[in-house]
Chain A
Amino acid sequence: DGGITQSPKYLFRKEGQNVTLSCEQNLNHDAMYWYRQDPGQGLRLIYYSQIVNDFQKGDIAEGYSVSREKKESFPLTVTSAQKNPTAFYLCASRIGNQPQHFGDGTRLSIL
């Protein structure tokens, strides 16, 4: 079955540590997205990529970085510069004008 796989499901970060969240899709979708979800605030766009080796900042990119070396993969790094990283992170992908398709998320917490 095609879909988006996010791993790990739960992740803990120590102070000053960078952590990387994985997002892999086998849908052959061109575009991929990272969102942050906080209670009561809906989803906010962190980064997005329309094609391999290209990505753009979203609304809240500070403290995050991404790469898009392969069509299937769009990992997100939460750096130590992100002072409030505790949130639920969602990855999505899209092809053409179709709706975005979401993974099941990674919940990041601070130790």
Chain B
Amino acid sequence: AQSVAQPEDQVNVAEGNPLTVKCTYSVSGNPYLFWYVQYPNRGLQFLLKYITGDNLVKGSYGFEAEFNKSQTSFHLKKPSALVSDSALYFCAVRDLMIKAAGNKLTFGGGTRVLVKP
């Protein structure tokens, strides 16, 4: 089975400070990992993904994420947060070993980010 945990319901950060949103995962094989962002009453927008290669993945809007296989983590980071980064962030995983029909993703519960001016 595949699972994702986002241990923090909310992260508060001052504008200009570094932002980190934590994600850990559990899979049987190799993971295919994603980060999405959601603004109020909108769908999810894709930020970045990791499937293989460099452990540091760069994505949209200045976000990046670091894949750590030994810690089974995929934390999202941004060096300098903006007020406009305030949103709900979701981590998701798919187990590449499982030939599950439909390429189903498992989502974490989400982390609300609040960036204060």
Contact = CB atoms under 8 A, between A and B. Distances in A.
A56 B44 contact: no
Interface stretch (A11-19, A41-49, A66-74): A41-49
Given A41-B109, A43-B107, A102 B102 contact: no
B104 to A, nearest CB: 6
B105 A100 contact: yes
Nearest to B34: A99
Contacts, number: 55
Give chain B's interface residue range (CB within 8 Å of chain A): 20 to 34
Contacts of A88: 41
Q: Name A's interface SS.
A: strand
Contacts of A63: none
Given A31-B103, A50-B101, A90 B110 contact: no
Give chain A's interface residue range (CB within 8 Å of chain B): 20 to 34
A105 B38 CA distance: 11
A31 B42 CA distance: 21
A54 to B, nearest CB: 10
A97 B43 contact: no
Nearest to B108: A42
Interface in A5-59: 6, 9, 31, 33, 40-43, 45, 48, 50, 56, 58
Given A99-B46, A102-B36, A104-B41, 6 more contacts: A90-B43, A90-B44, A99-B34, A100-B46, A105-B42, A105-B43
5 contacts: A6-B43, A45-B104, A45-B105, A48-B104, A100-B46
